Amino acid sequence: RRRGGGGAAAAPGVLARSFASDASPARKVAILGAAGGIGQPLALLMKLNPLVSSLSLYDIAGTPGVAADVSHINSRAEVKGFASEDQLGEALEGSDVVVIPAGVPRKPGMTRDDLFNINAGIVKSLCTAIAKYCPNAIVNMISNPVNSTVPIAAEVFKKAGTYDESKLCGVTTLDVVRAKTFYAGKAMVPVADVNVPVVGGHAGITILPLFSQATPASNASLSHEDIKALTKRTQDGGTEVVEAKAGKGSATLSMAYAGAVFADACLKGLNGVPDIVECSYVQSTITELPFFASKVRLGKNGVEEVLGLGPLSDYEKEGLENLKPELKSSIEKGIKFAKEN
């Protein structure tokens, strides 16, 4: 065994832990935008994940400090920082999972789509590098507007001849995290036990939480008005944080948590852990739209199954029809951008 952990003189407990992490395969995770509001706490959480053996932190500003800081934590992952475009190839090479929180966040009064003009170009150039240096990595797209940046990534990969739809995931986990938290509060059930699928996309009404499928069943009697309020709060969760931060950005800490949950699920899937199911915005045939968020099964090849919507309430059926025009136009906008640029 190459990784000695505490070495021959270490206490038995230390050795046992070291051998336990040796049992999980070497996995490299790259974070692009690693010195940003999301990137920093996400780097911390990925450094703490025992499934990660190599953590590659890339940003165009501030990377050395973040990498030096995170690297001192005594956990498995070996940390390397990459600070300029000429180092992007090295940052990406050999990656199993690439998480992308690079780009500008919203300010109060803006929609996620208002970020398109800046973030579309950033995502396009980063995905061009991914196609070149780690075409087999699972991409976790966080940069907004996710409804458009995922189709942009798909087009970039298609142009490069590397597109594999099972390796491209829009991260919508924060919507699930919010839906779980808000439901647990209203339904008076332990939040750790809660499951709520959230489908559609990741902006306003395209975020469709399926509270009719929430488990465990509510301990309080939830009226239709309660469900409508929970739905609206989940859809406006990002705006709630943007307004509370009053010009200092959008969700970073809850997003880093959500991003870490999703990346961990991808790693577990790659490692062959069975029954890893998360919601994600992926290429899809479960509606007429080419990209759609729903539950997906993650496995050794990334997204191994896109799961159906299950039974919907009338309110959810209406929400589904209402979200389609906006989601369709965001998808088309992303595809058009990637084809024309």
Alpha carbons 75 and 30: distance in angstroms, whole number: 17
Q: Could you give the string, one character per residue 185-204, with x where binding to ligand NAD holds by CB under 6 A and - elsewhere?
A: -----------------x--
- On whether 36 is known to bind a ligand per the annotation, the reply is yes
Catalytic annotation present for 72: no
By a kind-dependent CB cut-off of 5 to 8 A, residue 42 interacts, out of ligand LMR, ligand NAD, none, with: none
Answer yes or no whether residue 144 interacts with ligand LMR by CB under 6 A: yes
Answer yes or no whether residue 334 interacts with ligand NAD by CB under 6 A: no
- On whether 39 is known to bind a ligand per the annotation, the reply is yes
**Cis, peptide link before residue 145, omega less than 30° from 0:** yes
- Between strands 291-299 and 138-141, the pairing is unpaired
Which of 156, 24, 43, 158 lies closest to 101 in space, CA to CA? Answer: 43
Helix (H) or strand (E) segment spanning residue 105 = none
Q: Which residues of 19-41 are buried (b: 16+ CB within 10 A; e: fewer)?
A: eebbebeebbbbbbbbbbbbbbb
The one-letter code for the residue type at 115 is: L
Distances in Å between the Cα of 238 and the Cα atoms of 20, 292, 325 are: 38, 19, 21
Answer yes or no whether residue 119 interacts with ligand NAD by CB under 6 A: yes
From the list 80, 180, 202, 328, the catalytic residue is 202
By a kind-dependent CB cut-off of 5 to 8 A, residue 102 interacts, out of ligand NAD, ligand LMR, none, with: ligand NAD
Q: Could you give the string, one character per residue 78-117, with x where binding to ligand LMR holds by CB under 6 A and - elsewhere?
A: ---------------------------xx-----x-----
By a kind-dependent CB cut-off of 5 to 8 A, residue 151 interacts, out of ligand NAD, ligand LMR, none, with: none
By a kind-dependent CB cut-off of 5 to 8 A, residue 59 interacts, out of ligand NAD, ligand LMR, none, with: ligand NAD
**Alpha-carbon torsion (288, 290, 309, 299), positive or negative:** positive
Pick the closer one to ligand LMR by CB: 131 or 331. 331
Q: Which range binds ligand LMR by CB under 6 A, 57-65, 220-228, 236-244, 323-331?
A: 236-244
Q: Alpha helices of the chain — where are they, by DSSP H?
A: 12-22, 39-47, 63-71, 88-92, 116-133, 146-160, 173-187, 224-235, 237-245, 253-270, 314-340
Shortest distance (Å) from residue 67 CB to ligand LMR: 25
Alpha carbons 236 and 242: distance in angstroms, whole number: 10
- Between strands 198-200 and 207-209, the pairing is antiparallel
Pick the closer one to ligand LMR by CB: 204 or 290. 204
Pick the closer one to ligand LMR by CB: 95 or 144. 144
Answer yes or no whether residue 143 interacts with ligand NAD by CB under 6 A: yes
Catalytic residue set = 202
Binding site for ligand NAD (CB under 6 A): 32-33, 35-39, 58-61, 101-106, 115, 119, 122, 126, 142-144, 146, 171, 174, 202, 249-252, 255
